[in-house]
Amino acid sequence: MRGYLDTATRFEFGTKAETLTRLAELVRTAVVLPLEYFTVAEWRGEPEQVLTRLCSQQWSAAPLIVRSSGYDEDRTGSSLAGRYLSQAHVSGRRELRLAIEKVVDSFDSDHPENQVLVQPQFEVATASGVVSSYEPSCGAPYRVVNWTSGSDTTEVTSGGSVVKTWYFLDGNAAVPPAAELEGIPELVLELEELIGDEPFEFEFAATESGALILFQVRPLAGVRPIPRGQRHAEIVAECQGQVRALNREQSVALGKRTVLGIMPDWNPAEMIGVRPRPLATSLYRTLITDSVWAESRARYGYRDLRGVPLLVDLGGLPYIDARASFTSMVPASLDDVLARRLVEHYIETLRGNPQLHDKIEFTIALTCYHFNTPDHVRELIESGILPATDSALLTKGLRELTIAIMADHGPFAADLRASEHLARTPVTRPAEFSLSHLEYLLTTCRRRGTLPFSGLARAAFVATSMVRSLVELGVLTATEADALLGSANTVSTVLLHDFATLTRDEFLARYGHLRPGSYDILSPRYDEAPDLYFDWSREAPPASASTQFEPSAEQLRAIRELLVSHSLPGSPERLLEFVAQAVAAREYSKLHFTRFLSEILVEVARAGARLGFTPDDMSYLTISALCDSRSADRRYISELVRAGKERHEMTEILCAPAVLTDPAELTTFVAGNGAANFVTQSRVIARVADVAAGDDPTDAIAAISAADPGYDWIFTKRVKGLLTAFGGANSHMAIRALELGIPAAIGVGKEQFEQWQRAGVLEIDAGNRMVRAVGAGRS
């Protein structure tokens, strides 16, 4: 029925049952439950004898689990995890027979060496999950633990519940995030000593006492492991040094320490991705986060942080320095003592609530005046954050700053004029690449594009804050607020109208410069790949008129009373006009400056082409290197490309949390909830197929809610990419995508999934940890 493998020989993976049998004799830091297994041939030939043997086991009186152990499962190069059936909570001979038949019937073939594995059902675990010896997506030398409460590991592999993910590096005294995981590091090391260098993963359960139960060990299919070498350790140490330095007192940015995040303020995770190529990062810094961001805020009445970069580059991973950001959001009229108190409060709030890192202005910082500002200031006083004497100063500073922003002749009006001027400025393209033309594009984009855009975006935030406060006070309903903000004639509404009414050539002449990744040279422009983004064969839907908001007389009266009581000038009509104007101006300004940004990328590609370099090669350069007088020297560029690729290879194998508060978090951290798991380093742009709604996933990105093995059929349809709401890095669909080399975003969260599911066309850039909606979607 079964025999033990020779433990003196080099360890080799067998079937699930064979591997567990061998490990039961070898592993000391975990327990393998008693087991029996048999082949399908044995079952077909002598089912009663097999049942009798099983039922004679002392442990068979308790509930059992019947599991597949296929000859093609858990092999090097192909794990087929979750492919075949398991039957849990089986009691008695009759149920056992039925369960075995179901498992046997689930095999793809009648191969006689397929096996069935029977063990006692384990149900007293406080935690369970899957551990990978290397990071499953890129092979980086991190241990990755996906775990959840309870004893059912399918909650992790199927993506059926909230899964937490712990990353850690060996040799760093990693403190487990849960007591039940305390033995995991030692178990990983023991298994690695037995198995060798081949990447593997295992399913486990942990008891309240900390004992670990080993359910399964299998090769980590499709992963090319990155050696745990000195270079990776050096890069991590360099990044830790940067974080330590940033957490010291600074002369301009206020406060004792900082927080680094990928989504506060100018949100690099959204704009350039988590692991951008050097060109994208350098453009973002040159055009916004080195100086433009601070200059704009100073012009709008905030503290002047010119000379302080907002973006911090940790080994190629872009983070926002929250201390610099928060300091730049304090009105310039406040003294250093009050400003410091505010910034330190904001920093500590973010440290204690890292999940707020993508919404710091709405939930943490007071950055403008609105109708609930006095209440928010009062909360700071009552909680002891600020002394009562500072209340009037803070309120006055925010009010004056906001009034200046909304004024007819203030910075908003000036930026609006600058943006309109840029809209009238044609983008020219000389016959051949010209360094002087590239420098002109960069200067124009920065001074007349991103600088005004930064201000208009600030005004749009003020407008949105005003509207939110009207909702909180009951003057507007949430639906009315949406209608008010939606009544702005934004680029999105006009683009949809134009797509429905313009010819293909007319539409591309107006919008052809747009790219899904504005700073990404590898992201095709609309006019470079129009059929990739739009279905020109179908009749365009009728253009819909934008929703118009018409306030009632009672609402206008309430707003007028609020303006008077809060000492804000102007009329209700002017306030609502400002709201619509600011929201629209932000979007149009972006449309205008991206004409120049997109052309910069065209010029970079042309600069490379003249020397025999591809756009992919050029993505590894920085924009400053291209503006060097040596940029026409092929050897010079070739060396920069080589060095850039080498650096980015290290970036691709760095793992770090979305919010960094301590250098130690670069060696051990728990990924925040809702952080997607990306599979492969590939990218794809394709239409989205809502599989549950019956969409054909052929040549599409398949969107399915959970990582259920029942969806395996989609892989027969030439699926280009995969998107799921739930699931971890070790879920069934993540493993299948990895084996097949399909870029995937697994476990993006329910809300984000539903948004992307409705997109017409989606881009998944797994290597850069990004998903973008790039085409018109379904309503």
SS (H, E, C) 582-651: HHHHHHHHHHHHHHHHHHHHHHHHHHHHCCCCCHHHHCCCCHHHHCCCCCCCHHHHHHHHHHHHHHHHHH
- Determine the pLDDT at residue 751: 58
Give the C-alpha distances (Å, rounded to integers) separating 300 from 394, 406, 422: 16, 10, 20
Phi-psi region of 769 (alpha: psi -120 to 50; beta: other; left: phi over 0): left
Helix residue spans in 31-83 (DSSP H): 40-45, 47-55
- Determine the pLDDT at residue 463: 93
DSSP secondary structure code for residue 355 in this structure: G
DSSP secondary structure code for residue 769 in this structure: T
Separation of alpha carbons 395 and 404, rounded Å: 14
Taking the mean position of all CA atoms in its chain, how far away is CA 772? 10
Separation of alpha carbons 674 and 676, rounded Å: 6
How many Cα atoms occupy the beta-carbon half-sphere of 7 within 13 Å? 10
Say whether pLDDT at 543 is over 50: no
Worst-scoring range by mean pLDDT, 288-292, 561-565, 654-658? 654-658
- Both structure tokens of 34: 């008693």
Cβ pair 41, 243 in contact under 8 A: no
- Determine the pLDDT at residue 587: 84
Amino acid identity of residue 38, one-letter, is: F
Say whether pLDDT at 546 is over 70: no
The DSSP line for 684-726 is: EEEEEEEGGGT---TTSEEEESS--GGGGGGGGTT--EEEESS
Between 604 and 229, the more confident residue is: 604
544 closest CA partner among 500, 480, 591: 500
Helix pair 634-651, 230-246: axis angle to 10 deg: 80
How many other CB atoms sit within 10 Å of the CB of residue 522? 19
Please name the residues in contact with 421: beta carbons below 8 A apart, sequence gap of 6 or more. Answer: 448
Separation of alpha carbons 399 and 55, rounded Å: 79
Say whether pLDDT at 151 is over 70: no
- Determine the pLDDT at residue 154: 59
Q: Is residue 359 very low, low, confident or very high in pLDDT (cuts 50, 70, 90)?
A: confident
- Both structure tokens of 438: 């590239």
The whole-number average pLDDT for the span 549-572 is: 96
Q: Mind listing the pLDDT tens digit for each residue in 283-332?
A: 999 999 999 999 999 999 999 999 999 999 999 999 999 999 999 999 99
> Beta strand 721-724 with 701-704: parallel, antiparallel or unpaired?
parallel
Amino acid identity of residue 504, one-letter, is: R
- Determine the pLDDT at residue 739: 61
- Determine the pLDDT at residue 538: 62
Strand partners, 165: 146, 671
The whole-number average pLDDT for the span 108-114 is: 81
- Determine the pLDDT at residue 104: 92
Please name the residues in contact with 572: beta carbons below 8 A apart, sequence gap of 6 or more. Answer: 551, 555, 556, 559, 560, 563
- Determine the pLDDT at residue 5: 39
- Determine the pLDDT at residue 727: 67
Please name the residues in contact with 539: beta carbons below 8 A apart, sequence gap of 6 or more. Answer: none
* Entry pTM: 0.86
265 closest CA partner among 371, 376, 356: 356
Determine phi and psi for 329, rounding to 5 degrees. -100, 5
- Determine the pLDDT at residue 9: 56
DSSP secondary structure code for residue 431 in this structure: S
Q: Mind listing the pLDDT tens digit for each residue in 341-350?
A: 999 999 999 9
The DSSP line for 75-128 is: BTTB--TT-S-EEEEE-HHHHHHHHHHHHHHHSSS--TT-EEEEEEPP---SEE
Worst-scoring range by mean pLDDT, 81-85, 129-133, 601-605, 617-621? 81-85
Cβ pair 416, 585 in contact under 8 A: yes
Separation of alpha carbons 119 and 492, rounded Å: 58
Give the C-alpha distances (Å, rounded to integers) separating 390 from 8, 262, 325, 387: 75, 32, 22, 6
Separation of alpha carbons 425 and 415, rounded Å: 15
Q: Is residue 584 very low, low, confident or very high in pLDDT (cuts 50, 70, 90)?
A: confident
Please name the residues in contact with 615: beta carbons below 8 A apart, sequence gap of 6 or more. Answer: 521, 522, 604, 605, 608
- Determine the pLDDT at residue 4: 37
Cβ pair 135, 167 in contact under 8 A: yes
Give the C-alpha distances (Å, rounded to integers) separating 441 from 286, 296, 437, 590, 703: 12, 20, 6, 15, 39
- Both structure tokens of 392: 């009037």
Q: Mind listing the pLDDT tens digit for each residue in 190-237?
A: 999 999 888 999 999 998 888 999 999 999 877 788 877 788 999 999
Task: Say whether 329 sits in a helix, a strand or coil.
Answer: coil
Worst-scoring range by mean pLDDT, 401-415, 542-556, 565-579, 585-599? 542-556
What is the average pLDDT value for the chain, to the nearest integer? 88
What element of type H or E holds 129? Answer: strand 127-132
- Determine the pLDDT at residue 668: 95
Determine phi and psi for 133, rounding to 5 degrees. -75, -20
200-206: strand order across its sheet: 212-219, 200-206, 127-132, 143-149, 164-168, 668-671
- Both structure tokens of 375: 């209440």
157 closest CA partner among 84, 221, 82, 59: 82
Helix residue spans in 427-503 (DSSP H): 435-445, 451-472, 478-486, 491-501
Q: Which residues are catalytic?
A: 732
The whole-number average pLDDT for the span 387-401 is: 95
Q: Is the dihedral of CA 602, 604, 609, 613 positive or negative?
A: negative
- Determine the pLDDT at residue 209: 81
Say whether pLDDT at 749 is over 80: no
The whole-number average pLDDT for the span 360-388 is: 94
Q: Is residue 711 very low, low, confident or very high in pLDDT (cuts 50, 70, 90)?
A: low
- Determine the pLDDT at residue 492: 65
The whole-number average pLDDT for the span 253-257 is: 94
Cβ pair 134, 99 in contact under 8 A: no
Q: What percent of the chain has pLDDT over 70?
A: 90
Q: Mind listing the pLDDT tens digit for each residue in 666-690?
A: 999 998 765 677 887 789 999 999 9
Q: Mind listing the pLDDT tens digit for each residue in 489-515?
A: 667 667 777 888 889 999 899 989 988
